[in-house]
Amino acid sequence: MKETTIKKKILGKIVIDLEVCKGCGYCISACPNGCISQDDKFNGSGYYPAIFSNAGPCTGCAICAYSCPDIAIEVWREE
């Protein structure tokens, strides 16, 4: 009997708290899929925060959240 493999698409989404973010850029470097970039507007504390600018390839792997020293990233994952 022939086996069929069905690949599930994993959808990820992150929410960055722009007022908690201090713009260190760790999450931008850590994301393997280039989903995060730096905003060109200041937040209330005078930092350029990280923004979720490229949602399409996000897998919800949470590497960005683990790399954030300020716990500013919340991750959602759906299969």
Residues within the interface to ligand SF4 (CB under 6 A): 12, 14, 16, 21-27, 30-31, 33, 35-36, 49-50, 58-64, 67-68, 70, 72-73, 75
37 forms beta bridges with 51
Measured CA to CA, the distance from residue 76 to residue 24 in angstroms comes to 22
* Closest residue by Cα to residue 48 from 19, 69, 12: 19
- Min dist CB 9 to ligand SF4, Å, is 13
- Min dist CB 74 to ligand SF4, Å, is 10
Please give the structure tokens belonging to residue 41: 């507007």
Instruction: Note the residue count of the chain.
Output: 79
- Min dist CB 22 to ligand SF4, Å, is 5
Cβ closest to ligand SF4, residue 4 vs residue 54:
54
